[in-house]
Amino acid sequence: MKNRKGIIVLTVSLLVLGLIYLVLPDRIAVLFWLTGNFVYAPREFVFVFAIIPYVVYRTWWR
């Protein structure tokens, strides 16, 4: 049952990020330098953050 809850957390976070993905611009600034330069990543980069709620769930609610 516990593993099933982890899968649900991961699925919900992917669904939420999928909805956010639809309104994002093509490039996202991921790093800001003090000189005013930016480092950009494609908007698909946002799916990397889907793993964070899953890791928090697995770490804190064992």
How big is the chain, counted in residues?
Answer: 62
Whether the model pTM is above 0.85: no
Sign of the alpha-carbon dihedral angle for 23, 28, 30, 36: negative
**How far, rounded to the nearest angstrom, does the alpha carbon of residue 62 sit from its chain's CA centroid?**
22
CA 19 to CA 57: how far, in whole Å?
Answer: 22
Q: Map residue 44 onto helix, strand or coil.
A: helix
| DSSP result, 22-42 | TTS-SEEEEEE-TTS-EEEEE
Confidence of residue 2 (pLDDT cuts 50, 70, 90): low
pLDDT digits (tens, 9 = 90+) for 3-62: 788 888 889 999 999 899 999 999 998 889 999 899 999 989 888 888 888 888 888 876
